[in-house]
Amino acid sequence: MTHIPVIDLFAGPGGLGEGFSVFTAQNENPVFDIALSIEKDPYAHSTLELRSFFRKFPKGKVPEEYYEYIRKKSLTRSPKVHQKLRSELFEKYPHEAQMAREEAWHAELGQNEELYEKIDSRIETIRRNSLTKCWGVIGGPPCQAYSVIGRSRNKGKCGYSAESDKRSYLYQQYLRIIARHEPDFFVMENVKGMLSAKLNGQSVFNQILDDLRRPRGKKKTSIQKYNGLEYEIYPLTADSSIPEKSSDFIVHAEQYGIPQTRHRVILLGIKRSFSEEKPIRLAHKPVVAVKDVLDDLPALRSGLSREKKINNTFNRWAETLWQIIDQDWLKNPHNRELADSIKEIIVSVFNNELDQGGEFVPFEKTEKKAFKYKDLSEWYMDERLKGACNHSSRSHMVSDLYRYLYAASFAEKEKRSPLLAEFPEELIPAHKNAGSGHFNDRFRVQLADKPSTTVTSHISKDGHYFIHYDPEQCRSLTVREAARLQTFPDNYFFEGSRTQQYIQVGNAVPPLLARQIAEIVHELIRRTLN
């Protein structure tokens, strides 16, 4: 079977496309080819294009200059220097660079007719290729208008209505491609909040299902059975194309080897005229915990916010932690065992000098702790990288530093993250809503022995919901750690500032989950064409 072309819409940094592109058949050859990916965010697009360049080389044959690019970028924060380094990399491999540019488009769907024409022309070229036996569309329209959190925030906006929010209708751009070009299959991903979202009093999800089943609408015909373009929409965790309830379309990622409790709606559409085969289901896998995928990364300390760089040293950080000893809540604790543990941690901090990491942190294989699962080691690791990229810690206020230390120490003892009401009174933020009960999980530790909570783009704003389980590091998660929880391979480099990197990671589909979806699609295609 020749490579199956795939169009990736609303691609983000490329998590869904990565999973499809790395899936191989029994002969170890790739099955799917990302023929076109479209993303509007300039930083996500930059990441997408760089990864496309990476994939243009056979496995294990990526040039050393790619790795040098990552290492050199860590030496400066200058955007001009970064652009120069990238240009030099692409100039050394102009053929692969050009293919990457042709694959990854920086464009916003739904903006103008000229863009429609370009996309339509490109897709027609792909689908009319004599080697194309079948092809598909993947992607997830932006979800802010559907998510529970997004809807909650929008309620507070003066004059806001979901009906006038253009993001509510972005899925129609996805639908337009399907209706016009008739892919043999498609995969759509979105937040589970879309199941309860309403527009004009009607269920958003039911409308989307109806539209996707008959992308060209319910045309009147004298023939009793509709004979236009139709798709069967399948859930990935149930047997029937007509599930008993809409929640059957929710995929719980932690049940499929993803170290994260990420729950998303995923729809698999199969064109009726292409196949009557039914897809297999996702196969359950052993639970993977946070520690299983983070423990081998270099340990880092947090920084001190509002400190000049010259003063933001390890000694200054450690001395600041030491000052917690004099606080009344630690001198006269409610929980003596926890207090003694915190004191021991503070003492041990001085014996292990840590730094804040960086865009590239060198470390050798001999320093790594072994992965619990061999297949995960093979998935994440790249020996040629010789380090960790996008692995720099944030700086925190001193008061938050103490809260992180307390929370991580509590979690280590109690095997759960503390509620805000369980913090010493001195550590509860002086915020008017702190006692309302609505922010009881304001400081959330990612427990070492369980999958993490959902990694979202909110991690870019603060780290309070993503505290590292190791109290000695006393910090929130780095971009690389968030990327590990999202199952991005270590050699997947995220462009842009650290804030922009967090946003990309939080919005992505876990590539390892996408790979399993690709396997389901391939198995159905194999049975159909054979």
DSSP for 164-233?
Answer: G-GGGGTHHHHHHHHHHH--SEEEEEEEGGGGT-EETTEEHHHHHHHHHHSTT-----SSSS--SS-EEE
Least confident of 238-252, 297-311, 404-418: 238-252
Distance CA 82, CA 92 (A): 16
Identify the band that residue 144 occupies on the pLDDT scale cut at 50, 70 and 90: low
Tell me, what's the pLDDT at 213? 95
Tell me, what's the pLDDT at 151? 39
Q: Is the pLDDT of residue 155 over 90?
A: no
pLDDT tens digit string along 274-330? 999 999 999 999 999 999 999 999 999 999 987 777 778 999 999 999 999 999 999
Q: Is the pLDDT of residue 150 over 70?
A: no
Q: Is the pLDDT of residue 221 over 70?
A: no
Q: Mean pLDDT throughout 167-195?
A: 89
Determine the 3-state secondary structure of 379 from DSSP. helix
**Which tokens in the block code for residue 190?**
């979105």
Determine the 3-state secondary structure of 263 from DSSP. strand
More confident residue, 30 or 158: 30
Q: Say if residues 274 and 263 touch (Cβ distance below 8 Å).
A: no
Tell me, what's the pLDDT at 90? 98
- Residue 52 CB burial class (10 angstroms; 0-12, 13-18, ≥19): buried
Identify the band that residue 165 occupies on the pLDDT scale cut at 50, 70 and 90: very low
Tell me, what's the pLDDT at 469? 98
Q: Is the pLDDT of residue 82 over 50?
A: yes
Residue ranges and CATH numbers for the domains of the chain are 4-288+509-529 (3.40.50.150), 290-372+394-477 (no CATH)
Q: Taking the model in full, what pTM does it have? A: 0.92
Distance CA 215, CA 218 (A): 9
